[in-house]
Structures are given as structure tokens and as C-alpha cells.
């Protein structure tokens, strides 16, 4: 089987950069629909993809401030809507790990509230699933949609076990380490990402 593994947070950040640059969204949380099946068709011109898995971290509500509480609620709702859409698009939505509040500095008279989050555990689950599927002969070709250099050791290990690894990245921001390590690379152009978003967000009148 040929499987596509998508590092959700990593992938969506790249997608959001493209959509924001083209004034289609304002925030990453605006992405509640994305036509992954359209992107799958583009990738399948090389090899037919049998299965798609999208990995995302579990979100939590934080009550350190009203602003932070509202923001976390927006993120949770956006993920819920994205999960529903992707599931209907025949994508396995896998929740693993957590998004944790890394630092919080309350607002004062001179400064705005400062918040930072950190994702934990998703890359571990992604790596384990890839290794397990290759070792169990359930994945012959791995399409890896992640620009995280931490995945390079995983790529090398599955290659040793006979799997072919295709790096799936972005033409505007490719990971050159993964390009050099993987057997093949396919880089999405901005217009292809935009088309995937537009197809998912068509109105009935359109």
C-alpha cells in the first residue's frame, strides 16, 4: 500500500502562510475545510495513494484570562470542524499528544498579553505509525507531508527496511534536508494549495 501521512500542525502552518499571503484567511484557525482529496489526486499522478492519515494534537481550554479562554475555544471549534470535514473526505483524523500552554504573560498598562503554545507528542505517534506500517508490510511507499527535520531519522530507518519515501512539501518553503534524504520529492505550488482551499469552501451558488 501507498500511504500519505500528514503532520497536521506543521502542514496547516505552511498552508496558512500561503492563504494569508493571498488574503483568503486572516488566521490559521480560519482553515476549517481543506480538500485533501484534491491534493491526493495530484500526488497520485506519481503513485496511487491508498490511505491518508492526518495527525493533530489535542487542544485544551485555558482560563488564565478571558482573552485566552476565547482564543482556545476558537481553536478547539476550528479543529472540530476540520476533523468533521476531513473525515467526510475519507481522511483518517488521528489525535495524539497535546498542545500545551508554554508561557503566559498577562497584559499590563504598557504591554499586550503574550501567549505561546507548544505541541507535544504528535511527531512521536506519526513516527511510530510509519515504522509499524512499514515493518508490518502495510506501507510500501510512504508519502510524508511534514517539513520537520526530526523526521529524517525515521525516513532513513524505513528506507533500510525497503520502503520508498516521498517528501511532500511546499515549493515556497521546502525542507532541503528532507529533499536530500527522501527518495523523491513533490512540492505543492501555491496555486495548488489555494485551489484545494477554494474547492472545499465553494458555496452552493458556485
- β-bridge pairing 164-170 and 114-120: unpaired
Q: How far is the C-alpha of 98 from the C-alpha of 57, rounded, in Å?
A: 5
Contact 120, 96 (CB under 8 A): no
The three cell numbers of residue 51 are 490511505
pLDDT of residue 112: 66
What is residue 4's three-state secondary structure?
strand
Helix 152-160 and helix 122-135: axis angle, to 10°? 10
Contact 111, 82 (CB under 8 A): no
Q: Which residues contact 136 (CB under 8 A, 6 or more apart)?
A: none
Contact 34, 18 (CB under 8 A): no
Instruction: Give the Cβ contact number of residue 101 at 10 Å.
Output: 14
pLDDT of residue 70: 83
pLDDT of residue 206: 44
DSSP string over 33-74? ---HHHHHHHHTTTS---EEEEEEEEP----SSHHHHHHHHH
pLDDT of residue 113: 59
- Give 17-52 pLDDT, tens digit per residue: 999 999 999 999 899 999 999 999 999 987 899 999
Query: Exposed/middle/buried for 94, CB within 10 Å: 0-12, 13-18, 19+?
Result: middle
> Dihedral of CA 135/37/11/70: which sign?
negative
Going from the N-terminus, what domains does the chain have, and what CATH number goes with each? Answer: 2-200 (3.40.50.1010)
Edge-to-edge order in the sheet of strand 2-7? 114-120, 92-105, 51-58, 2-7, 141-145, 164-170, 184-188
Polymer length in residues for the chain: 206
The three cell numbers of residue 206 are 458556485
Give the chain's mean pLDDT: 89
pLDDT of residue 49: 96
Closest CA to 184 of 47, 7, 55: 47
Q: Which helix (H) or strand (E) holds 96?
A: strand 92-105
**Model pTM?**
0.89
- pLDDT under 70 in the chain at which residues? 99-119, 203-206
- How many Cα atoms within 13 Å fall on the side-chain side of residue 158? 30
pLDDT of residue 115: 58
Amino acid at each position: 500500500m501507498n500511504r500519505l501521512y500528514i503532520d497536521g500542525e506543521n502542514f496547516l502552518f505552511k498552508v496558512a502562510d500561503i492563504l494569508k499571503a493571498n488574503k483568503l484567511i486572516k488566521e490559521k484557525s480560519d482553515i476549517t475545510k481543506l480538500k485533501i482529496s484534491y491534493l491526493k489526486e495530484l500526488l497520485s499522478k506519481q503513485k496511487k495513494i491508498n490511505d491518508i492519515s492526518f495527525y493533530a494534537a489535542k487542544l485544551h481550554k485555558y482560563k488564565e484570562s478571558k482573552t485566552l479562554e476565547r482564543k482556545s475555544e476558537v481553536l478547539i471549534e476550528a479543529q472540530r470542524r476540520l476533523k468533521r470535514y476531513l473525515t467526510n473526505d475519507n481522511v483518517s483524523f488521528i489525535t495524539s499528544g497535546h498542545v500545551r500552554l508554554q508561557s503566559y504573560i498577562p497584559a499590563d498598562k504598557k504591554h499586550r498579553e503574550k501567549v505561546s503554545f507548544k505541541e507535544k507528542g504528535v511527531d512521536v505517534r506519526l513516527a511510530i505509525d510509519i515504522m509499524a506500517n512499514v515493518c508490518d508490510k502495510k506501507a510500501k511507499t510512504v508519502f510524508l507531508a511534514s517539513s520537520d527535520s526530526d523526521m529524517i531519522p525515521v525516513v532513513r530507518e524505513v528506507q533500510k527496511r525497503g520502503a520508498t519515501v516521498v517528501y511532500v512539501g511546499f515549493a515556497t518553503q521546502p525542507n532541503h534536508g528532507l529533499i536530500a534524504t527522501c527518495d523523491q520529492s513533490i512540492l505543492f505550488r501555491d496555486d495548488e494549495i489555494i485551489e484545494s482551499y477554494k474547492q472545499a469552501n465553494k458555496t452552493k451558488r458556485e
